Amino acid sequence: MELRAYQRRVNYYETDQMAIVHHSNYIRWFEEARLDFLDQAGLNYRKLEETGLIVPVVDVSCRYHVSAKYDDLLDIYAHLIAFNGVRMDYRYEVRFHDSGVLAADGTSSHCFLDEHRRPVILKRRDPVLFAKLSALVEKK
Please state the domain extents for the chain.
6-136
Per-residue pLDDT tens digits for 1-17: 678 999 999 999 999 98
What is the CATH T-level fold of the domain 6-136, as seen in this structure? Thiol Ester Dehydrase; Chain A (3.10.129)
Q: Are 78 and 130 in contact (CB under 8 A)?
A: no
Rounded Cα distance between 72 and 89, Å, is 27
pTM score: 0.93
Catalytic residue of the set 16, 59, 71, 114? 16
Kind and range of the H or E element at 124?
helix 122-125
Per-residue pLDDT tens digits for 35-87: 999 999 999 999 999 999 999 999 999 999 999 999 999 999 999 999 999 99
Mark whether 16 is an active-site residue: yes
